[in-house]
């Protein structure tokens, strides 16, 4: 199948599908193609841009990937500065904040997979950090 942008003598532009370019020529010659807006049979192909897909092998360069990862790591470090480190008490503290038993604030720390799954099951938003952080001893 091929799609053409067509234009009638009244300057109405519309799209039509054909089995091939030859099918278009044959149908126009037999008067089978008409403008859907005004019914005119005075039809010609309109100028159209080709649909050229982007190359699939054009990803970011290794240097760009490294730069983006560094920027994300810096953003994570900056975000953690505004959050309280709660160490291995993360799950309990997240539950206390969710229940209104502790001040609402950003926190970070450690949780087991089971604790994280329990938080998710209870609808408490908690997500793993994308980049490792140095161990903290001040919890």
pLDDT at 39: 87
pLDDT in tens, 26-81: 998 999 999 888 888 899 998 776 667 767 677 888 899 999 999 999 999 999 99
Angle at alpha carbon of residue 135, lines to 130 and 139, rounded to 5°: 110
pLDDT at 46: 84
Domains in the chain: boundaries: 2-45, 62-121
Output the CA–CA distances (angstroms, integers) from residue 135 to 71, 110, 125, in the order listed: 21, 10, 23
User: What mean pLDDT comes out for the span 123-134?
Assistant: 89
User: What mean pLDDT comes out for the span 110-118?
Assistant: 94
**Which tokens is 70 given?**
């560094």
The yes-or-no verdict on residue 128 having pLDDT over 50 is yes
pTM, full prediction: 0.52
How far apart CA 104 and CA 39 sit, in angstroms, is: 66
pLDDT at 139: 46
How far apart CA 123 and CA 126 sit, in angstroms, is: 9
């Amino acid at each position: 199948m091929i799609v053409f942008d067509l234009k009638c003598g009244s300057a109405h532009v519309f799209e039509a599908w054909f089995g091939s370019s030859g099918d278009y020529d044959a149908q126009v010659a037999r008067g089978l193609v008409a403008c859907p807006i005004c019914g005119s049979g005075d039809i010609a192909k309109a100028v159209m841009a080709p649909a050229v897909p982007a190359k699939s092998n054009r990803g970011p360069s290794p240097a760009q990937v490294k730069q983006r990862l560094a920027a994300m790591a810096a953003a994570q470090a900056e975000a953690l500065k505004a959050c309280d480190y709660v160490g291995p008490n993360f799950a309990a503290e997240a539950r206390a904040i969710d229940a209104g038993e502790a001040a609402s604030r950003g926190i970070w720390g450690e949780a087991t997979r089971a604790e994280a799954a329990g938080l998710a099951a209870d609808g408490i938003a908690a997500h793993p950090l994308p980049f490792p952080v140095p161990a903290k001893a001040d919890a």
